[in-house]
Amino acid sequence: MKKKGTIAILTGGGDVPGLNPAIRAVTIRALREGYEVIGLRRGWAGITEMVRDKKYDNSNNFIHLSEEVVNRAGRTGGTFLHSSRTRPSHMPKSAVPDQYRDTYAAEVNDLTPEIIKNLEWLGVEYLIPIGGDDTLSYGVRLYSEGFKVVAIPKTMDNDVPGTDYCIGFSTCVSRTIHLVNTLRTSAGSHERILVIEVFGRYAGFTAMLPTMAGAAHRCVIPEHKFNIDRLTELLVQDRNHNPSKYSICLISEGATFDGVENMSLLDSELDMFGHAKLGGIGLTVGNLIKERTAKYNNGQRINVINQNLGYLVRGGDPDALDSIVPMAFGNLALDLILKGIHGRLVILKNGRYDNAPLDVVTATKKFVDIDKHYNIDRLRPKYNAFDFKPLLIMTGD
C-alpha cells in the first residue's frame, strides 16, 4: 500500500490506565489506512530533545510503531511511550538540550520553532497528543503556529474542558471505591474516622463520584472552602449513627478550608506548567478532626485513620470504560484525519462521541458545579433530580 503520510502520537502528564489502548487504536487504524505511525517518547520531551541527524541515535526520543508493538501493550495500564511534564514553550535554561544552547540562552526559552522543524524532519503531517489541559495547551500552541493537531483528552481528574469524559477517570473512580471498601474494615474494627486523600487539584470529580456511589459519607473538594468544625461535627454524627461505628471522608488534594489561602504542598518546586506537587491536606485535616472530635462526642476523642490513595488509583490495568473509550477516541481522531480535519479535540458529550475546537482546552476551565451538584452545608453530593442527567451525573458545564 502506498504510504499516505506520517502521524505522530505522544502521551504527556500523569499516567492513567487507558493510554496504551488509545495508542493501540490510533496505530492500528492508521496503519490499515496506509499511514506510518511514530510514537514520540516522554511526552513533549522526546520531540524537544531529538537531534536532526540520521546518524544520531534517537531511539530514546521516538519509535516507529507497528501492530505487534501496540498489541502487546494495548491491554495494559500506563503508557509504554512514557511521559513527562515538559513544556517546550517555557523551557528553563538548565533544561535546554545541548544542540540548542547557543541559540536559546535566556532563563526561560520558547523552543517551538525547533519543535516544528523536528516534526517536519520526521515527515510528520498530523500530531495526536494525548493528555490533560497542560499537555494539550501546548498542542493548541502548535496548532496556532500552523501544525495539524488532533487531540485526545486524558486525566484522572476529568477536568479537561469541552468533554464530559477523559481517559483514566473511570478506573480512578473504580479503584477509589475498591480501596475505600478495603480500608473501611479497619475503620470499623477500631471505631475510627477514615480520612482519605484523593487526586483533584482544581476539580473535585474524583471525590464526588465515589462519594455519590456510596464509598464515603462526606467529601470536600477544591471548589468550596469548607469549615473544619462542621466537617468534624458531621463525621462524628455519621460515625455514631453507624452500627459499625466508623465514618469516611474523601478529600481532594486541592481542597482548602476556612482560614487557609493556599493548597497543601509536598514541596515548593514548580514544574514547567507552574504547578507545585500537591499532597498532605488529608493528614492535616485528619489531625484537626481528631483534635476536635471530643467537642462533638461527649468529651471523648475519636481516633482517625489517614490514607493517601495516590498512585494506587492511576496504576494497573484499565477498567471496561477505560478500555472502550480510548478505542473510540483513537478511531475518532483517525476519522478526522482521513477527512483532512484538524485543530479538534475528540470528546464524549451528552452520551455521544463528537469533536470540539481544540482551543476549548485553553479557553475555559472545568469544575464541579456546586450549585447543581454539591451540598455545601452537608459536605456531600446532592441526590436529587436525576432525570436526563448524563451517565456520570456531573459534567462541569
How many whole angstroms separate alpha carbon 15 and alpha carbon 152?
Answer: 14
One domain, residues 162 and 17: yes
Asked whether residue 74 is domain-assigned, the answer is: yes
Question: pLDDT, tens digit, for every residue of 159-211?
Answer: 999 999 999 999 999 999 999 999 999 999 999 999 999 999 999 999 999 99
348 Cβ contact list (under 8 Å, min separation 6) = 163, 164, 165, 325, 328, 329, 354
Question: pLDDT, tens digit, for every residue of 336-388?
Answer: 999 999 999 999 998 999 999 999 999 999 999 999 999 999 999 999 888 98
Which triple of cell numbers denotes residue 23?
A: 495508542
Asked whether residue 338 is domain-assigned, the answer is: yes
Q: What amino acid is encoded at 269 in this protein?
A: E
Q: Which CATH number does the domain housing residue 323 bear?
A: 3.40.50.450
pLDDT of residue 264: 62
Residue appearing with cell numbers 475498591: 178
How many whole angstroms separate alpha carbon 120 and alpha carbon 192?
Answer: 60
One domain, residues 296 and 184: yes
Residues with a known catalytic role: 157
- Residue 252's domain spans which residues? 171-310+370-381
One domain, residues 239 and 258: yes
Residue appearing with cell numbers 475505600: 180
Asked whether residue 392 is domain-assigned, the answer is: no
> How many domains in the chain?
2
